[in-house]
Amino acid sequence: MNGTSRRIRVGLIGYGYAGKIFHAPLILAVPGLTLTTVGSSRPDVVRKDSAGVTVCSPAEVAIHPEVDLVVVASPNDSHFSLASAALRAGKDVVVDKPFTVTLAEARSLLKIAEEQGRMISVFHNRRWESEIQATRAVLQSGALGVVSHYECHMDRYRPRVRQRWREDEGPGAGLWFDLGPHLIDQALYLFGLPQSISASFATLREGGKTDDWAHVQLNYERMRIILHASLLVSRGGPRSVVHGTRASWLKYGADVQEAQLKEGMIPGSPGFGLDPDPGFLYDGETGHCTEIPAPPGNQQMYYMQIRDAILEGQQASIPAIDAVAVMAVLETTFRSAEQGSVLTLPLSSDEIAQWGRAHPEF
């Protein structure tokens, strides 16, 4: 932090699953960040976990005078209003995924942030999971040759429909709004923007009100990407697969950080993020399999880089244009499924150029 002793006062809006399990522990584990304020209807739960924090309404957190960074982890359809209020109050902002529920809202937040001279970023924490870091490392090694196919699954076994906003009809609800932003961001992080998109969604569980099965294809000039999610998979295959002209890469097993955070493990403690499941590299010529240990996951890095971006005036590790790009893909998947057609991305030439400047590797 360039030797500065400044501490960033963080206000967290929402103390449900995302706020309690992910954001609060990661924020508390980062030197230089201080969780001072939480917007929640469960003050007793908040104070039990973090004694001394101020608990108030979500709207109050967004404009609180003793907050520098506002983290929005409330229901999806409230992201835009709370984030825009925080930006206009002179706060830097982190928004949990999905960034917004429409591409228009995402673009509007980017414009407001630019007008106010504030930083805004989306919480695509899974870039720092062992699976994605392992996949990125094998891609950068060149061992696969020219990549032709990438496939990633986020499947669950939840056959019973639960009474919660994510599974009720409404803006931002459903499985793909929940897991799609993760899968889309991973694909863009690893391979860049696609040329076109096709998608199919379904509601397969009895009594379901929202999509619980999703299958999306991203098309590149000489590569195809499959992103898949389902709530009716009791035991699936590999989570990540990459095929190339020289070899194939398979990675089984989910990153352990979410389970560890649910158990109360503190980020940075011994064993945190250590993935017991290696990846497997299959040589195309010989068929020989090489077992490669996965690097440790470290979602704490997201907030460490947010801290440094604020203190040093740099671009966030996940800039707002990344959020706009993911929302463009997400919105296009729904239009593709509705129309039954292959569609191109609705990004402007300026947005594509801005994304390209943020990701010169592509």
Q: What is the pLDDT of residues 237-284, one digit of tens each?
A: 999 999 999 999 999 999 999 999 999 999 999 999 999 999 999 999
If one counts the domains in the chain, the total is 2
The whole-number pLDDT of residue 315 equals 81
In a domain, 303, yes or no: no
In a domain, 306, yes or no: no
The whole-number pLDDT of residue 3 equals 43
- Provide the whole-model pTM: 0.95
Question: Do the Cβ atoms of 97 and 123 come closer than 8 Å?
Answer: yes
Regarding whether 288 and 165 lie in a shared domain, the answer is yes
The whole-number pLDDT of residue 171 equals 86
The arithmetic mean of pLDDT across residues 69-91, rounded, is 97
The arithmetic mean of pLDDT across residues 286-311, rounded, is 96
Regarding whether 265 and 216 lie in a shared domain, the answer is yes
Of 225, 254, 223, 224, whose CA–CA distance to 237 is shortest? 254
| Cα distance between residue 2 and residue 4, in whole Å | 6
Regarding whether 157 and 85 lie in a shared domain, the answer is no
Query: At residue 165, does pLDDT exceed 80?
Result: no
In a domain, 45, yes or no: yes
Regarding whether 84 and 17 lie in a shared domain, the answer is yes
C-alpha separations of 186 from 97, 136, 193, 335 in Å = 13, 10, 11, 21
The arithmetic mean of pLDDT across residues 165-182, rounded, is 89
Regarding whether 280 and 175 lie in a shared domain, the answer is yes
Regarding whether 199 and 172 lie in a shared domain, the answer is yes
Give the domain extent around 335.
Answer: 127-298+330-356
